[in-house]
Amino acid sequence: MEVARGLEGVLFTESRMCFIDGEAGRLYYYGIPIQELAEKSTFEETTFLLLHGRLPKREELEAFKRELAVRRALPPHLLDSFRRYPTSAHPMSFLRTAVSELGMLDPTEADISREALYQKGLDLIAKFATIVAANKRLKEGKEPIPPREDLSHAANFLYMANGVEPSPEQERLMDAALILHAEHGFNASTFTAIAAFSTETDLYSAITAAVASLKGPRHGGANEAVMKMIREIGTPERAREWVQEKLSKKERIMGMGHRVYKAFDPRAGVLEKLARLVAETHGHSTEYQILKIVEEEAGKVLNPRGIYPNVDFYSGVVYSDLGFGLEFFTPIFAVARISGWVGHILEYKELDNRLLRPDAKYIGELDRPYVPLEARG
């Protein structure tokens, strides 16, 4: 049997949720192009789509928004725990631990019936934003801000994180960013969630595993690396020389290239427009200029090899403008991707929830003798 390194090209299930055409640079949620959702939809509506497989009617959407809004508040016990978490902890470690603790606080944790999973999923989707915002406030030496039920998911997240109600433009920026990150097929964290849930563990455990997977710099942490790259370059004037030096050493350009896409990542195209808006409106032109020069210079060598900007390339500039520091970029990713994780778990359970148990090609020796300790030298 041939070994599929990194499980590349291996089909282990069927799904209607997400289709990625890597050669043409296209992404669809339940058949709807991502560009249309990012331009016309909201995070709540897109989440309904991911959980139900269709867009909601007006009254369904209003009811769904209310369902999420009333679930935003955290248990007092959990907030007390937050104050005992080390302030030096990475926000993804904070989120991972908080999700695990939420499970312990749920007396119905072990119930994995379809309806129970759906209700717990709504709870986690609503609370992820509250957890991340509370962590940001505590890191700044401030008290967490209780959620508001009269704001959208994106606006409430920004309000809890920054202490002021966002402008309509800021709300729209966050909404679009969350939609773009909500789902992306069987990436590492989604596969991890499915692998864990296939054992019939509880939802909190499966999502905790997904958060742990997303924390890795080769997955969710890549957008942090892009902003570090911008800081290392420093000025637009230095960008071309920096890229040439990196490429001459055959080093990676962060935010360029994707395992699936051999064309421009469609999410990066939307985020580039948002980053341009941020640069033109709010004066963050230096970061944007550096990224455009890096994209152009690196593209001369990388584009012919099918390597283009991915979703992480421009997202950091948008998050920075919305008031978030570097270490909160990946948690924002999680605030969005929780919808995709829950949607895939619901779908996989309905299919058959077959236990995932891959194999490995054995390349070691057989029938080796046991050498007594005293004879091993």
pLDDT digits (tens, 9 = 90+) for 148-191: 999 999 999 999 999 999 999 999 999 999 999 999 999 999 99
Residue 102 confidence (pLDDT) above 90: yes
Cα 179 from Cα 267, distance rounded (Å): 10
Q: Per mean pLDDT, which range of 213-222, 355-364, 368-377 is the poorest? A: 213-222
CB 72 within 8 A of CB 122: no
The answer to whether residue 284 is catalytic is no
Residues 6+ apart with CB under 8 A from 275: 287, 288, 291, 314, 317, 318
The answer to whether residue 219 is catalytic is yes
pLDDT digits (tens, 9 = 90+) for 301-354: 999 999 999 988 999 889 988 999 999 999 999 999 999 999 999 999 999 999
Cα 124 from Cα 133, distance rounded (Å): 14
Question: Integer distance in angstroms from the first to the last C-alpha of the chain?
Answer: 39
Reported for 211-214, long-range contacts at CB under 8 A and 24+ positions apart, including other chains, are: 211/92, 211/95, 211/96, 211/99, 211/334, 212/96, 213/188, 213/189, 214/92, 214/188, 214/189, 214/330, 214/333, 214/334, 214/337
Q: 90, 106, 111, 219: which is the annotated catalytic residue? A: 219
Buried b / exposed e over 323-360, threshold 16 CB at 10 Å, is ebebbbbbbbbbbbbbbbbbbbbbbbbeeebeeeeeee
CB 158 within 8 A of CB 12: no
Q: 153, 181, 184, 258: which is the annotated catalytic residue? A: 258
Cα 193 from Cα 81, distance rounded (Å): 25
Percentage of the chain surpassing pLDDT 90?
85
**Phi, psi at 171, each rounded to 5°:** -60, -45
Residue 377 confidence (pLDDT) above 90: no
The answer to whether residue 258 is catalytic is yes
Residue 113's SS3 state is coil
CB 153 within 8 A of CB 66: no
CA of 169: how far to CAs of 45, 61, 373, in Å?
18, 22, 71
Residue 366 confidence (pLDDT) above 90: yes
Residue 26's SS3 state is strand
What residue ranges define each of the domains in the chain, with the CATH number in brackets? 14-217+326-351 (1.10.580.10), 222-321 (1.10.230.10)
Q: How confident is the model at residue 223 (pLDDT cuts 50, 70, 90)?
A: confident
- The structure tokens listed for 104 are 């312990």
Residue 284 confidence (pLDDT) above 80: no
Which amino acid is it at 58?
R
pLDDT digits (tens, 9 = 90+) for 124-135: 999 999 999 999
Q: What is the predicted pLDDT for the residue at 222?
A: 78
Q: 265, 312, 321, 344: which is the annotated catalytic residue? A: 312
pLDDT digits (tens, 9 = 90+) for 250-280: 999 988 988 889 888 999 999 999 999 888 8
- Judging by beta carbons within 10 Å of its beta carbon (0-12, 13-18, 19+), is residue 141 exposed, middle or buried? exposed
Q: In what order do the strands lie in the sheet with 32-33?
A: 18-21, 26-29, 32-33
